[in-house]
Amino acid sequence: MKSLRFCSSFIPVFLIHTSFASAADSTRVEESTPDTLARSYTLNEIVVTATRLGIASRSAPSGVSVVSREAIDAMPGTLLSSAISWTPGLSLRAYGGGASVQTISLRGMSPEHTLLLIDGQRYNSFQNGLADFGILSSSVVDHVEIVRGGASALYGADAVGGVINVITRAAGEGVHGSASTMVGSNHSSASGFRLEGGEGGLGLRGGLRREQGRGDYEFRFNDGRTETTLTREGEDYSLLTGDVRADWGVSPSLRTTASFTYADGDRGSPGVVTDPSSNGRGRLWDRLEYLRGGIDWDAGGGVSLSLNGSAHYGLEQYDDPGQLLNGTTLHSLYANHDGILTPEVRFNISPALSGLAGVEYARASLQSSETAEAARIQRSAFLSSSHSFLLPSQVPFEIILYPSIRYDTYSDVAGDVSPRLGVNVGLVGDPALRLRASVGKSFRAPVLNDLYWIEGGNPALRPERAISFDAGFRCDMDLLGPLRFEASYFSIDSRDRIVWVPASGTFWSPKNISSVTSRGAEAEAVWTGFDGVLRLTLNATWANVTKTSADFPGDPTQGKKLIYEPAETLNGVAEARMGSVILLIRHSWISYRYTTEINDRFLPAYSLESASARYLLHAFPFKASVKAEVNNIFNTSYQVVALYPMPLRELRVTLEAGL
Amino acid sequence: MKSRAYVCGCAAAILSFLTGCVKDPVSALREVPVPSARGVYIINQGNFGRANSSLSYYDLVSFHVYNDVFTAVNGKNLGDVAQGMTIRGSSGYVVVNNSQKIEIIDLATNLNTGTIPTGAGSSPGQMAFVNDTLALVTDLYSNALLVVNVPARRVTGSITVGANPAGVAIAGGKAYVSNSGFGSGRTVSVVSVVSLSVVQTVTVGDNPGGVQVTPSGAVYVVCTGSYDFTDPAKDTPARITVIDPSSDVVTDSIFIGGHATDIGIGIDGIGYVPSSAAVLRVDTRVHKVTGVFKEGSYFAVGVEAASGDVYLADAKNFIQPGTVSVFAPNGQLRTQFDAGLIPGAFAFKR
**Chain A, 437-496: which have a CB under 8 Å from a chain B CB?**
454-456, 479-480
Which pLDDT band, with edges at 50, 70 and 90, does A40 fall under? very low
Whether the pLDDT of residue A22 is over 50: the answer is: no
Residues from chain A contacting residue B166 (CB–CB below 8 Å) = 1
Whether the pLDDT of residue A472 is over 90: the answer is: yes
d(CA A100, CA B254): 49
Contact between chains at A3 and B14 (C-beta distance less than 8 A): no
pLDDT in tens, A44-79: 334 566 567 778 888 899 999 999 999 999 999 989
Task: Please give the backbone phi and psi of residue B208, each rounded to the nearest 5 degrees, phi first.
Answer: -65, 140
Q: Give B341: exposed, middle or buried? Use CB within 10 Å, 0-12, 13-18, 19+.
A: buried
Contact between chains at B19 and A607 (C-beta distance less than 8 A): yes
Which pLDDT band, with edges at 50, 70 and 90, does A30 fall under? very low
Chain B residue with minimum CA distance to A573:
B14
Which candidate, A103, A125, A111, A189, places its Cα nearest to that of A448? A125
Sorted by sequence, the CB contacts under 8 Å of residue B290 that are 6+ apart come out as B281, B282, B283
A interface mutation test: which of B24, B141, B146, B314 has the most A CBs within 10 A? B141
pLDDT of amino acid B49: 80
Domains in chain A, please, with CATH?
Answer: 2-658 (2.40.170.20)
Average pLDDT value for chain B: 91
- Distances A208 to A21, A140, A192 between C-alpha atoms, Å: 11, 10, 5
Q: Give B325: exposed, middle or buried? Use CB within 10 Å, 0-12, 13-18, 19+.
A: middle
Angstroms from B167 CA to nearest CA on chain A: 12
Angstroms from A423 CA to nearest CA on chain B: 31
For B89, the 3-state DSSP assignment is: coil
- Does A621 sit behind a cis peptide bond, omega within 30 degrees of 0 on the bond before it? yes
Greater confidence (A628 vs B12) lies with A628
Residues from chain B contacting residue A327 (CB–CB below 8 Å) = 143, 163, 181
Whether the pLDDT of residue A282 is over 70: the answer is: yes
% of chain B beyond a pLDDT of 70: 92
Do B269 and B283 meet the contact criterion of CB atoms below 8 Å apart? Answer: yes
Count of CB atoms within 10 A of residue A42's CB?
A: 14
> A377 at the B interface (CB within 8 A)?
no
pLDDT in tens, B32-52: 776 678 999 999 999 888 888
Closest to B24 (Cβ–Cβ): which among A587, A592, A598? Answer: A592
Contact between chains at A595 and B276 (C-beta distance less than 8 A): no
pLDDT of amino acid A37: 32
Count of CB atoms within 10 A of residue A363's CB?
A: 17
Chain A residue with minimum CA distance to B44:
A1
Chain B residue with minimum CA distance to A527:
B10
pLDDT of amino acid B153: 94
Degrees, nearest 5: CA angle A217-A218-A221 = 135
Whether the pLDDT of residue A431 is over 80: the answer is: no
Whether the pLDDT of residue A360 is over 50: the answer is: yes
Contact between chains at A604 and B24 (C-beta distance less than 8 A): yes
Angstroms from A226 CA to nearest CA on chain B: 10
- What mean pLDDT comes out for the span A601-627? 93
> A568 at the B interface (CB within 8 A)?
yes
Which candidate, A540, A544, A520, places its Cα nearest to that of A593? A544
Which pLDDT band, with edges at 50, 70 and 90, does A427 fall under? confident
Greater confidence (A451 vs A25) lies with A451
pLDDT in tens, A367-425: 998 888 899 999 999 999 999 988 776 667 889 999 999 999 999 999 999 999 999 99
Whether the pLDDT of residue B200 is over 60: the answer is: yes
Closest to B320 (Cβ–Cβ): which among A280, A556, A591? Answer: A556
d(CA A172, CA A44): 11
For B71, the 3-state DSSP assignment is: helix
d(CA A404, CA A438): 11
Residues from chain A contacting residue B120 (CB–CB below 8 Å) = 277-281
Report the Cα–Cα distance between both ends of chain B, in Å, rounded: 79
Residues from chain A contacting residue B79 (CB–CB below 8 Å) = 274-275
Residues from chain A contacting residue B319 (CB–CB below 8 Å) = 557, 596-598
Residues from chain B contacting residue A572 (CB–CB below 8 Å) = 14, 17-18
Whether the pLDDT of residue A277 is over 80: the answer is: no
Chain B residue with minimum CA distance to A271:
B49
DSSP assignment of A122-165 equals: E-S-TTTS---GGGEESTTEEEEEEEES--HHHH-TTTTSEEEE
Sorted by sequence, the CB contacts under 8 Å of residue A84 that are 6+ apart come out as A65, A67, A90, A104, A144, A146, A164
pLDDT of amino acid B195: 96
Angstroms from B166 CA to nearest CA on chain A: 10
Greater confidence (A438 vs B31) lies with A438
**pTM for the structure as a whole:** 0.84
- What mean pLDDT comes out for the span B168-192? 95
Whether the pLDDT of residue B308 is over 70: the answer is: yes
DSSP assignment of A158-185 equals: TTTSEEEEEEEPPP-SEEEEEEEEEEET
Greater confidence (A566 vs A37) lies with A566
Angstroms from B102 CA to nearest CA on chain A: 11
For B7, the 3-state DSSP assignment is: helix
Contact between chains at B50 and A224 (C-beta distance less than 8 A): no
Angstroms from B117 CA to nearest CA on chain A: 8
pLDDT of amino acid A392: 72
- What mean pLDDT comes out for the span B312-333? 92
Task: Please give the backbone phi and psi of residue B183, each rounded to the nearest 5 degrees, phi first.
Answer: 110, -20
pLDDT of amino acid A204: 96
B interface mutation test: which of A235, A324, A449, A549 has the most B CBs within 10 A? A324
Residues from chain A contacting residue B229 (CB–CB below 8 Å) = 454-456, 507
Whether the pLDDT of residue A625 is over 90: the answer is: yes
Contact between chains at B315 and A2 (C-beta distance less than 8 A): yes
Which pLDDT band, with edges at 50, 70 and 90, does B283 fall under? very high
- What mean pLDDT comes out for the span A528-542? 95
Contact between chains at A275 and B19 (C-beta distance less than 8 A): no
pLDDT of amino acid B27: 62
Which pLDDT band, with edges at 50, 70 and 90, does B234 fall under? confident
d(CA B131, CA B133): 5
Greater confidence (A618 vs A115) lies with A115
Do B244 and B218 meet the contact criterion of CB atoms below 8 Å apart? Answer: yes
Which pLDDT band, with edges at 50, 70 and 90, does A513 fall under? confident
Whether the pLDDT of residue B222 is over 80: the answer is: yes
- What mean pLDDT comes out for the span B186-214? 96
pLDDT of amino acid A213: 96
Contact between chains at A605 and B13 (C-beta distance less than 8 A): no
pLDDT of amino acid A424: 93
Contact between chains at A324 and B80 (C-beta distance less than 8 A): no
Do B168 and B190 meet the contact criterion of CB atoms below 8 Å apart? Answer: no
Taking one residue from A and the other from B, the number of pairs with CB-CB distance under 8 angstroms is: 192
Contact between chains at B48 and A642 (C-beta distance less than 8 A): no
For A82, the 3-state DSSP assignment is: helix
Burial A289-311 (b: 16+ CB within 10 A, else e): bbebbbbbbbeeebebebebbbb
Contact between chains at B182 and A326 (C-beta distance less than 8 A): yes
pLDDT of amino acid A384: 95
Whether the pLDDT of residue A25 is over 60: the answer is: no
Residues from chain B contacting residue A497 (CB–CB below 8 Å) = none
% of chain A beyond a pLDDT of 70: 89
Which candidate, B168, B166, B97, places its Cα nearest to that of B127? B168
Length of chain A: 659
pLDDT of amino acid A224: 67
d(CA A141, CA B336): 59
pLDDT in tens, B65-107: 999 999 889 888 899 899 999 999 999 999 999 888 999 999 9
pLDDT in tens, B100-153: 899 999 999 999 999 999 987 789 999 999 999 999 999 988 899 999 999 999
Average pLDDT value for chain A: 87
Contact between chains at B99 and A278 (C-beta distance less than 8 A): yes
pLDDT of amino acid A351: 83
Closest to B22 (Cβ–Cβ): which among A322, A538, A591? Answer: A591
* Beta strands A416-427; A397-410: pairing state: antiparallel
d(CA A292, CA A47): 19
Residues from chain B contacting residue A592 (CB–CB below 8 Å) = 22-25
